Structure formats: structure tokens, C-alpha cells
């Protein structure tokens, strides 16, 4: 395997604005999202995914500092004004750059861009990074090395906005199987998947009074399988489960990994 991106040469990530000055448009826009841009844990996923895109020679770009929140948390919290303000501005920008295809590592951005933007004038082919990565492997654009995770026990947590909200259950699982791993499923998986507790703007507020945090309930369910890895496909699930594992002091035994990180690792990227 040729090692194009030798880790000593930094990879340059083009922005749509830069491409536009050369009269170019990217084949795919990588929508990074707020978590992927600012949250330290999610930024690692962003970088892994960008490395894979670069490694596979994809003609992609990001919006960079021009990207704004899709408006998802505002909408789920009932603030339709703010949502549509963000949406209409984003759509203006995306249309100005003639974007046709968007890939994102955040199921919330994915859902909003895919389902809620079209009526407002933003029609794009929107895919989740798990689907994109699977396609890259299936078309031979990237190869994966099953050795990286040999002997590891893995479970997969369905993000609500990828699974139930958009019926994407198989792509992440197929992707994991490409790594020669067999998933040990939690009892509540696929259609019955249990929320990590972050959706519907919960990420940004204290939980209502109750007897447990949702993320702890879910982390405990995953921990009961004693996996080495909990695979996730959402930056918010990632935070929630990582916290749930830490509270139970299991962080030395169990790692929460995003699908993109796993694929990058399997490529030594």
C-alpha cells in the first residue's frame, strides 16, 4: 500500500471559497458540523475522516469559517425562527457554491440537511460518513486491514437520528464487518436502539429531575457486554457514552470510537 500522506507532511484541507477562486467546485462537500469543528473529542473524528478523504483522493472541500450551525438544536428546542435563519443562510451559501453532494459525520446535521433543507430550497444528496466510507471500501478507493482490531470485542450504538430517524442501520454494521469484526449487539439495538440522551437539544441543558442520567443507562447496557470498543457514528453519542464509561471508571478497558477513527486506524492514517 502506498503511503501518500506520510504523517510528516501536513494535509491541506481546501475550502469551497478557495476552490471557487479557481473556478472549481468540489465533488463532495464535507459538512463538519459544530461538534466536529469545536469539540476536542469530535475534532479527532473530523481529522480522521478528512485524512481518509484525502487518502482516497476525493475531490472534497469544507465551508471552513463560512459554515454555520444547521439549526438542528434550535429546531428541536422549538425555536423555528432561529432554525430557519440558519437554514436559509446555509442554503444560500451552499447553492452559491453549487454543492450537489454533502457528507457529514454528524447524524443531526445529516438529518437536517437531508430532510428539512429541501423544502427551504436546499436540495442536495446528503449521506452519512458511514455510508460514504462503506462506498469507498466497496469501490476499492480505500482498503482496510482487518489486523488492526484482531480479537477485539465490539458493540455498536445506533444514533437515533441515523437509525430510527432515517433508517440507516446497516451501513455502520457493514463497515465494522469490513474490519473482520463481529458485532456483539446490545439488546436494545437497531429500531429498538436506546438514546444516548443528547438529542432534542438535551446536550445543551441539564436533565430534568429523575433517578438516572440517560447516558449512564445506555453506557451500562453497553458495559454489560464487556466490549473493548463501543463504536459510534455521532459526536454527541460519542461524548455521552464516553462520559458514561468514565463515571463508571471503565475508560481503561473500554474505548468509545467513531467509525471514521476505526477506518483511519485500519489504514494507519
Partner 1 sequence: MISSLIFILIFFSAFGFFLFRVIKIRRNILLGTDAQLEGTVSQRIFTMLCVAFGQSKMTARPVAFFLHLFVYTAFLFTQIELLEIIIDGVSGGHRTIWHWIENSAIAITYTILINAIELLSILAFFATIAFISRRNIIRLARFQKPEMKGWPSLDANLILSGELFLILSIMLMNSADVALQHMGQSQSTGKFLISNLIAPVWQNTDSATLHILERVGWWGHLIGILGFMVYLPFSKHFHILLAFPNTFFTNQKSKGKFTNLAAVTSEVKLMLDPTLPPPDANAPLPKFGAKDVQHLTWKNLMDAYTCTECGRCTSVCPANLTGKKLSPRKIMMDTRDRLEEVGKNIDKHGKDYLDNKSLLDRISEEELWACTSCNACVQACPVNINPLEIILELRRDLVMEQSKAPSSLNAMFSNIENNAAPWQFSPMDRANWTQEMN
By CB under 8 A, what part of segment 17-56 binds partner 1? 32, 34, 36-38, 43, 46-47, 50-51
CB closer to partner 1, 2 vs 6: 6
Q: Is 86 in the site for partner 1 (CB under 8 A)?
A: yes
Compute φ and ψ for 171, nearest 5 degrees: -55, -50
Instruction: Tally the residues of the chain.
Output: 269
Interatomic CA distance for residues 16 and 247, integer angstroms? 41
Q: What is the smallest separation between the CB atom of 133 and partner 1, expressed in angstroms?
A: 18
Q: What is the smallest separation between the CB atom of 257 and partner 1, expressed in angstroms?
A: 18
Q: Is 199 in the site for partner 1 (CB under 8 A)?
A: yes
Site track for partner 1 across 123-162, x = CB under 8 A = -------------------------------------xx-
169 CB contacts (<8 Å, ≥6 apart)? 158, 163, 190, 191
Interatomic CA distance for residues 25 and 35, integer angstroms? 25
**Range in contact with partner 1 (rule: CB under 8 A) among 80-88, 123-131, 140-148, 252-260:** 80-88
Number of CB atoms found within 10 A of residue 29's CB: 24
Contact status, residue 113 vs residue 104, Cβ threshold 8 Å: yes
Q: Is 191 in the site for partner 1 (CB under 8 A)?
A: yes
Interatomic CA distance for residues 64 and 223, integer angstroms? 37
Q: What is the smallest separation between the CB atom of 98 and partner 1, expressed in angstroms?
A: 20
Whose CA is closest to 104, among 69, 150, 76, 142?
69
Q: What is the smallest separation between the CB atom of 156 and partner 1, expressed in angstroms?
A: 17
Contact status, residue 170 vs residue 128, Cβ threshold 8 Å: no
Q: Is 212 in the site for partner 1 (CB under 8 A)?
A: yes
Question: If binding means CB under 8 A, how many residues of this protein chain bind partner 1?
Answer: 78
Q: Is 248 in the site for partner 1 (CB under 8 A)?
A: no
Whose CA is closest to 109, among 63, 141, 155, 154?
63
Q: What is the DSSP letter of 161?
A: T
Q: Out of 1, 2, 119, 140, which residue is the one contacting partner 1 (CB under 8 A)?
A: 119
Q: Out of 31, 56, 73, 109, which residue is the one contacting partner 1 (CB under 8 A)?
A: 73
CB closer to partner 1, 88 vs 225: 88
Amino acid at each position: 500500500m502506498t503511503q501518500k500522506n506520510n504523517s510528516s507532511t501536513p494535509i491541506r484541507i481546501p475550502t469551497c471559497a478557495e476552490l471557487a477562486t479557481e473556478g472549481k467546485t468540489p465533488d463532495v462537500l464535507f459538512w463538519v458540523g459544530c461538534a466536529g469543528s469545536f469539540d476536542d473529542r469530535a475534532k479527532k473524528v473530523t481529522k480522521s475522516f478528512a485524512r481518509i478523504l484525502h487518502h482516497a483522493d476525493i475531490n472534497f472541500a469544507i465551508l471552513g469559517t463560512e459554515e454555520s450551525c444547521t439549526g438542528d438544536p434550535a429546531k428541536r428546542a422549538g425555536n423555528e425562527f432561529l432554525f430557519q435563519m440558519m437554514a436559509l443562510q446555509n442554503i444560500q451559501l451552499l447553492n452559491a457554491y453549487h454543492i450537489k453532494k454533502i457528507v457529514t459525520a454528524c447524524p443531526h446535521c445529516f438529518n437536517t440537511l437531508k430532510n428539512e433543507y429541501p423544502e427551504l430550497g436546499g436540495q442536495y444528496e446528503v449521506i452519512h460518513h458511514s455510508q460514504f466510507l462503506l462506498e469507498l471500501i466497496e469501490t476499492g478507493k480505500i482498503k482496510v486491514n482487518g489486523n488492526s482490531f484482531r480479537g477485539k470485542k465490539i458493540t455498536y450504538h445506533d444514533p437515533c437520528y441515523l437509525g430510527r430517524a432515517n433508517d440507516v442501520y446497516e451501513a455502520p454494521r457493514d463497515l465494522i464487518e469490513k474490519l473482520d469484526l463481529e458485532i456483539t449487539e446490545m439488546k436494545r439495538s437497531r429500531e429498538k436502539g436506546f438514546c444516548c440522551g443528547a438529542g432534542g437539544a438535551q446536550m445543551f441543558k441539564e436533565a430534568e429531575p429523575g433517578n438516572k442520567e440517560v447516558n449512564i443507562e445506555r453506557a451500562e447496557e453497553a458495559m454489560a457486554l464487556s466490549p473493548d470498543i463501543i463504536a459510534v457514528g455521532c459526536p454527541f453519542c460519542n461524548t455521552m457514552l464516553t462520559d458514561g464509561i468514565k463515571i463508571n471508571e471503565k475508560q481503561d478497558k473500554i474505548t468509545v470510537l467513531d467509525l471514521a477513527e476505526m477506518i483511519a486506524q485500519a489504514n494507519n492514517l
